[in-house]
Amino acid sequence: MTNPILVTGAAGAVGHAVCDHLVKRGCKVRAMVRKADERSARLAERGVEIAVGDLLDLHAAHRAIEGCDRVYFGMSVSPSYLEATINLAAVAKHHKVDAFVNISQMTVSQMGITSTTDSPQQKLHWLAEQALNWSGLPVVHIRPTAFLDTFFLRLSMQSIRQHQQIRLPFGDGKISPIASDDVARVIATVLEAPADHIGKIYELTGARSQDMIDIAEEFSKALGQTISYVDVPWEPWRKALEDSGMLTPHVLAHLATMALLIQQNRYDRLTQDVGRVSKTPPLGVREFVHQHAQAYRAERDGSSAFIERKTDATHS
């Protein structure tokens, strides 16, 4: 393979990790980012070609795709998600790419023309999949479940640091959260040799589906201290996120809907697709927490560790 693979959303957790995995495999990579910064500079140091541009800009999309045979489409949670999907898909079709790998969400498997959710982002993912299927592009859909990095790191870090508690409104619902790096490894595997994957849908989960009591026990074992689960009421939890000012209304509506769906046991899913595609099993909760132990134990520093405004949530 002599042409580069285009990775969009390369500043996000999944996109950045996809670049890392592809570079390690000896692939040429072109990373599309909205602006040059420290993260894109680190990729450039590893030989990744950096393309700066907005996915909503038709000319930027042409510049990014030109000369690439394979494309990974990923974007942070945004009201413009569907427009960006169609923009990039139209340009990819014009350039006759060999593979278009789309990151979606597992919730889409429970949606249809007469069934949706209250998350505007989840509806956009469903519509994006429909449009890509109609496009005639050689598409692969990757549907991860909720990310460990979102609810169990960014949204839980401070309560674990300060109170040794996971405070989430999940009730007794079960969930099989997945690490962003596991998702990225599957995507990189598909991009490296896409022929056998075209037209397929991969639904990615973590190692086990567990309720929050079990997950708190995993945290306790990983951190060597007792971490308990507190089932907080949904509305005060949602209001606290809103009042923090660190989420856009679109992202807030998405995460709040996810929390309700988890409470309703809609995320009690378990598949073997991560191991089947990447030949490596997904991280369990305990292993993930162990990897991030310092973050959970660190003293509060007044930073924005509580949550990032641009949650990488196709990672949610």
Contacts of 245 (CB under 8 A, 6+ apart): none
Task: Give 1's pLDDT tier (boundaries 50, 70, 90).
Answer: low
| Residue 55 neighbours by CB distance under 10 Å | 24
CA atoms within 13 A on the CB side of 255: 34
pLDDT digits (tens, 9 = 90+) for 66-117: 999 999 999 999 999 999 999 999 999 999 999 999 999 999 999 999 999 9
Q: Which residue has the tokens 């641009």?
A: 310
User: What is the percentage of the chain residues whose pLDDT exceeds 70?
Assistant: 94
Task: Give 316's pLDDT tier (boundaries 50, 70, 90).
Answer: very low
As a whole number of angstroms, the distance between CA 22 and CA 191 comes to 8
Task: Give 2's pLDDT tier (boundaries 50, 70, 90).
Answer: confident
In Å, how far from its chain's centre is CA 110? 18
CB 280 within 8 Å of CB 132: no
Question: Which of 38-47, 211-220, 301-310 is the least confident region?
Answer: 301-310
CB 118 within 8 Å of CB 79: no
Task: Tell me the pTM.
Answer: 0.93
As a whole number of angstroms, the distance between CA 261 and CA 111 comes to 13
| pLDDT given at position 297 | 87
In Å, how far from its chain's centre is CA 309? 14
- What are the E-state strand segments in the chain? 5-7, 29-33, 49-52, 70-73, 99-103, 139-144, 165-168, 201-204, 228-231
Q: Quick one: CA torsion of 281, 286, 291, 297, rounded to 10 degrees?
A: 170
Mean pLDDT of 118-131: 97
Of residues 206 and 302, the one with the higher pLDDT is 206
Domains of the chain (ranges; CATH) run 5-145+179-204 (3.40.50.720), 148-176+206-268+283-297 (3.90.25.10)
Mean pLDDT of 16-24: 97
Taking alpha carbons only, the member of 218, 187, 227, 242 closest to residue 74 is: 187
- Element housing 144 (H / E): strand 139-144
CB 178 within 8 Å of CB 274: yes
CB 39 within 8 Å of CB 46: no
Which SS3 state, helix, strand or coil, does residue 41 take? helix
